[in-house]
Amino acid sequence: MSRKLLTFFKIYPYALLYGFGTPLLCAGLILLVRTWPQLGQLYAAHIFPFFPNSLGRILSLFPFSVLEMDLYLLVSILTAGVVLLLTAFAAYMLQAINKKAGLYAFVSLAILRAVPKALILLLCLASTAILMLTLACGLNYSREGIASDIGIFPAPAAHQDLVQLSSLLIADLQETIPLLSDTSLDTDSLHRESTLAMENLGFRYPTLSGYYPKPKPVLMSSWMSQLNLTGLFSPYTIEANYNNDVLAYIKPYTICHELAHLKGYIREDEAGFIAYLACSRSSSPELRYSGTLNALSYVLAALYEDSSQEEYQQLLLQLPERALADLTENNQYWDQYQGSASRLSAAANDTYLKANAQANGIQSYGQMVDLLLAYYGLNNQSV
């Protein structure tokens, strides 16, 4: 057995070295940037931009989500492989029982002998996936945050600060809603305005400047809804994918959120805050409405935990009718997807975030409220 194993390693030395060595290399790189965060900042500023400027730019030529198509292809290949393997094994066993050689037995034996090569291929593919996840996501968790880049200092705030922030956002909604058109943005306008908003934000904050790959709607968006996902940054194809089934006001904010990931801001609270900044500064009323209402939803969630029921209901009465209707419809939309798949997705996302030094897991999405408070000088810590 040991001789056969040694022979196997001699036949595929480089593939096995890559397959087993790459995850170890990735772990070492992550440990390195966590130990010396300045290396993570250098990586985010000078090396990571290569990916959206190369792979992201090339795959933007395709009008569909390359990640989605790759997943369909991968599932099809794996399914066909399993069926082929089971068929070959059954034919081989049948031949062994009947003691009759034939074409089917020859083909089945050839397929079974190809299994080691297939396993090595899967190992290398898995290692490549880990490598891309590390280069596009893992290392960027150690970069300096957007707060440092724009000169604000998040800190815990008092209840009254949250109330003041909500009043500010509600006032913005009241100014924006009369400017909204009767129809939502079409796909081309949605992509153009969202990308333009991020590009314009890059003129103010250099770390957000540069090329932005084209946003991609997912064809089977209902699957994303099943998993409670509005958007998805793909580290394998450097794409900003979004759920096309959600309410119209969710989409611009979500696209800008995913595009923020493409600039190396992987932390969820930071990407959400950047999305708000981009939308709130846009010339498009639809984007300003999207950014403000999504930001307000996080503030309302924080106030819900920090207010009496009576006070919270009084706050909701201050919302414009259009905004309250959209929030209600959004809650109704997601209520239909509260099942085991959504819970599993939330648990997996929570584990992933905590593994990448976001101690609060999925609660980190709500930490953008601290960034909003600092940005508007409501925590006595901003500059």
pLDDT at 118: 83
Residue stretches of the chain with pLDDT short of 50:
340-342, 345-346, 349, 352, 354-359, 361-365, 382-383
In this prediction, residue 383 carries a pLDDT of 40
Identify the pLDDT of residue 361: 40
End-to-end CA distance of the chain: 68
What's the pTM value of the predicted model, to 2 decimals? Answer: 0.87
Q: What is the pLDDT of residue 307?
A: 84
Q: What confidence score (pLDDT) does residue 175 get?
A: 97
Contact 281, 201 (CB under 8 A): yes
Two tokens, residue 329:
């419809």
Per-residue pLDDT, 231: 96
Burial of 108: CB neighbours in 10 Å, binned 0-12, 13-18, 19+: buried
Q: C-alpha distances in angstroms, 73 versus 22, 76, 77, 269, 345? A: 24, 5, 6, 33, 22
CA–CA dist 195, 255 (Å, integer): 8
pLDDT given for residue 365 in this prediction:
45
Q: In this predicted structure, what is the pLDDT of residue 257?
A: 98
User: In which residue are the tokens 């809603």 written?
Assistant: 177
Looking at residue 96, what is its pLDDT?
A: 61
Query: In whole angstroms, how far apart are CA 322 and each of 173, 180, 302, 329, 370?
Result: 9, 10, 21, 11, 26
